Structure formats: C-alpha cells, structure tokens
Amino acid sequence: MNASTRFKLSPVVMPEQDPAERVHNVREVPLGFTPEMALHEAQRCLHCTNQPCVEGCPVGVRIPEFIQAIESGDYLAGIGIIKQTNLLPAVCGRVCPQEEQCQKNCTVGKAHRDVGQAVQIGQLERFLADWERENHAAVIPQIPFASGRRVAVIGSGPAGLTVAGDLIKLGHAVTVFEALHMPGGVLGYGIPEFRLPKEIVYAEVAYLTRLGVDFQYNMVIGKSLGVDEVRQSYDAVFIGSGAGLPNFLGIPGESLLGVYSANEYLTRANLMHAYNENSDTPILRGKSVEVLGGGNVAMDSARTALRLGALRAIVLYRRSEEEMPARKEEYHHAVQEGVEFHFLQNPVKILGNREGWVTGLTVQKMQLGEPDASGRRRPLPIAGQTSNVPADVVVVAIGNNPNPLIPAALPSLQMNRHGGIVTDENTMETSVPGVFAGGDIVLGAATVILAMGQGRKAARAIHALLTRTTETAKG
C-alpha cells in the first residue's frame, strides 16, 4: 500500500461502553481494537524514515517496527519489539498522554493539522499487550549469569518497575519494597478501574516476578525497615516512592467531615474496592459531590463519584476549559457521563453544619488575566461576586507533592524547594553515592511514561556502577 493510499485512510473509532450504562459499573470504558480494527489503524502508518514518533517517546519504543508487525500479523514479534524498551505496554497504551508525546509528532497528524488524525499508537500498543496477556503468549527472555550484585527498589510504581525489569534482565538481583499490600503504586491506588483495570497492573507485575524480581509488600522503608539498613544490605538503591502527599487549598473548612483529598478518595475506591457495596471500606456516597481541580485526577474523582451513586458530580475549576490540564479524552468521557463543569469558579470556603459535616462551598467568580509561569492565563477574582453552592462531599484534587518519608529518613539527600529529590538528569543519581531516584519523587506528579523514562536512565547508570564495582573487585 503506497503512502498516498495510507494517508487517505480514516482513523478507527474505538468502541466504548455506552455512557448511560458505564456510570453504573467500574468496567473499562474503551473496549479495545479487534484484529481488523488494529490492521486498519496500522495501515495508516507511513513508516517515516526519520521516525518522529520515536523521538516523542520518553522510552524510545521502536514504534514503526511494532506497527509493521501488526500489519504483517506477527503479534508476537510486535509485542517483543515494544518490550525491549517498555515493560508496561498494557498500562502505557491506556493511560499515557500519547497526544502530547509520540502521536503529537506523527507525520499523519501534522499533515492533517490535527493531532486527532494521528496514527493511534497508544491503542495499537494496547492491542498487542492485550493479545499477549489473553493468549498467555509472554516470552520470558534468557537472563544472563547472575552478577552477584543486589539492588533495592523502593516503590513499585512505573519508575520502580522499569528499574527492576531492566536490571533483572542484566543479571542483577532486584528486590522491590512496596508500602502497600498490592503492587503498582499510583497505578493501583490512583487510577480508577474503569480507566486501568487492576488485573492489567497485576499481570505486568507477574511478568516481572517470572523474570525473578522479588516483591516485598507492606514494607514502609523508613519505618518497617531503615533506609541505612537497606543501603548496607544492597549494592545500589533506587527511590521511586512517588508523590503521595496531597496538596490542599488552605481555606476555611478543609477539616470538615466529608472533605477528602483525591488520594484518599481514589485509594478507598480503587485499591480498597469501596465501589463494591459489600466492601468493608467506608466511603461517603454523597449525592452532590464537588471536585476541586482540573487535571486527570479531578476527572477520575468526579467519574468515580457518579459510580458511587452521586446524583450530581461537579468539577470546579478556577480557569476556563481551554486552560484545563486534563486529557481531552478524559474530559470527553466525563462530559458524556454527566459530570458538570463550572469554570472560572474558585472555592474560598467550605461550609459545614454544627455536627461538623460539609454542607456546601463559597465560590468566587474569576476572570482570566495575563499568562503566569505555567503559560496559562492567570485567574483573577471579580470583586463582590461570590455565591454559595450545596455539597455533601468535597474532593480536593489540586495535585500532590513528593512523598517525604524517605528524604526525612536520609537527611543527606539534597532536596528541591518542592520536596523533590535532586538528581543528576543523565544518571538519576542523588547526592548520596549509590542512591538513585526517579519518577514522581523527582518530577512531582507526572505521567507514567516520563517516570519510566527516568527509571530507564537510572537502570543504565546503576548497571554501569555495578559493572565498574565488579571489575574493580576482580582487579
């Protein structure tokens, strides 16, 4: 098929659950490509010689090659190509912002002057990963002779899993310490089932277990086991403990009953199955839920509220729709499901009754001024324009800061003013020799694929360190 014919092919429309049905369940919303759909979408790829899509991928997946494998029907080769650089394709295919990365660079999308016309790389990645899992086709690579070196990974989020997978394949023993009772970090507690089924996360972790990675759960490093103990027992340490410290607005009423951080709200629902009425996990099933924020976590919280039985789920955002940082896909799904959006509204007080329960919010009407440091127009209050709105649950979804536990237990770590660990941008090594870090503990709340990119850098540097140490010992 020539390039002209490929260019004329229309994008495949991903089948989805009907909005009226899906708000009453937690099953995944997009249903995935059939083989016929995947073939059609793969045929839209122009196989550019300069491969701009690869340049847009933080872990350098060889995108045209795996798409070519789909075209030829060799799915096993396709997933093998992806897994050479990305050990979490089923996750990345679902939650990574491809429209801001690989698909943003796609020649087809640029030629149409519409990123929505780009080849749907993420959906094709998901297709191959799902095929591998559903057909039990995972190929376990041959692990080289054991190096005798041991690496501790603190946290089983995307960065930690990437480090573990890369280093185990290089012959080093890897132990992953996870504070929770289940793996995945933010993939498990932060992303709802309807966006990322937990069986997907557990299947990816099971693959690493088969490679030989040792997972230790309910291990809070800095509490259950001291950081110095870990450093003494392992040849290198990677810190990937994430950004689990929620931000709050600092307004009156945030301590009222019925006010949740998005972290707590989503953890109760996702990881502890509060969406199931038979679950022992308590959660307030409010009828009118106000979500404060405009990112993907705010979308997740509002959509979760509907699935918990809310009659109204309202997102309050102090800027306009244009400035909202949430992915367009997530915003689109939220609108379809009936989430209400009140733009240019800023909460200034949370209202409550004598018993200490939330009853509503006082909101300030805003207008947009000149762009601020983020590049978005700054929200400015309009004097005298406030109003009260009812609510029985408020979810604060305005971002997170890096987890402070590890830095507090290792005072010699150099930190930035946001509480993140300072690292060398090429090696991800911290100010403490032999200790590396990556993901949200460095970046703040960022994307899965960016965390994985840092994990890949760290794994290379750790391998180089362990190799040098081994050669020195032999000498």
Record the pTM.
0.92
pLDDT score of 235: 96
Q: What is the pLDDT of residues 133-181, one digit of tens each?
A: 999 998 888 888 889 999 999 999 999 999 999 999 999 999 999 999 9
pLDDT, tens only, 74-107: 999 999 999 999 989 999 999 998 999 999 999 9
Provide the pairing of β-strand 236-239 with 358-371.
unpaired
What is the rounded average pLDDT for all residues in the chain? 93
Question: What tens digit of pLDDT does each residue of 7-49 get?
Answer: 989 999 999 999 999 999 999 999 999 999 999 999 999 999 9
Q: How far apart are CA 394 and CA 352, in angstroms?
A: 11
Q: Scanning the structure block, which residue is given the tokens 């200490």?
A: 356
pLDDT band for 3, please (50, 70, 90 cuts).
confident
pLDDT of residue 366: 96
Give the number of other CB atoms < 10 A from CB of residue 149: 21
How confident is the model at residue 271, as a pLDDT? Answer: 84
Is a pLDDT exceeding 90 seen at residue 470?
no
371-415 tens-digit pLDDT: 888 788 899 999 999 999 999 999 999 988 888 888 888 889 999
Give 212-266 pLDDT, tens digit per residue.
999 999 999 988 888 889 999 999 999 999 888 899 999 999 999 999 999 999 9
Instruction: Report angle CA 282, 293, 198 to the nearest 5 degrees.
Output: 50
Express as a percent the part of the chain with pLDDT over 70: 99
What integer is the mean pLDDT of 108-121?
92
pLDDT for 445 equals 76
Which pLDDT value is given to residue 92? 93
What are the tens digits of pLDDT across the range 260-309?
999 999 999 988 888 888 888 889 999 999 999 999 999 999 999 999 99
pLDDT at 475 exceeding the cut of 60: no
- CB burial string 65-94: b at 16+ within 10 A, e below: bbbbbbbeeebeebbbbbbebbbbbbbbbb
pLDDT at 433 over 70: yes
* Cα three-residue angle 128-134-140, rounded to 5 degrees: 75
Rounded to whole angstroms, what are the CA distances from 374 to 118, 163, 199, 377?
A: 26, 31, 36, 8
Dist. CA 314–CA 345, nearest whole Å: 11
User: What's residue 411's pLDDT?
Assistant: 87
**Residue 379 bridge partners (DSSP):** 368
| Res 1 pLDDT > 90 | no
The confidence score (pLDDT) of residue 473 equals: 53
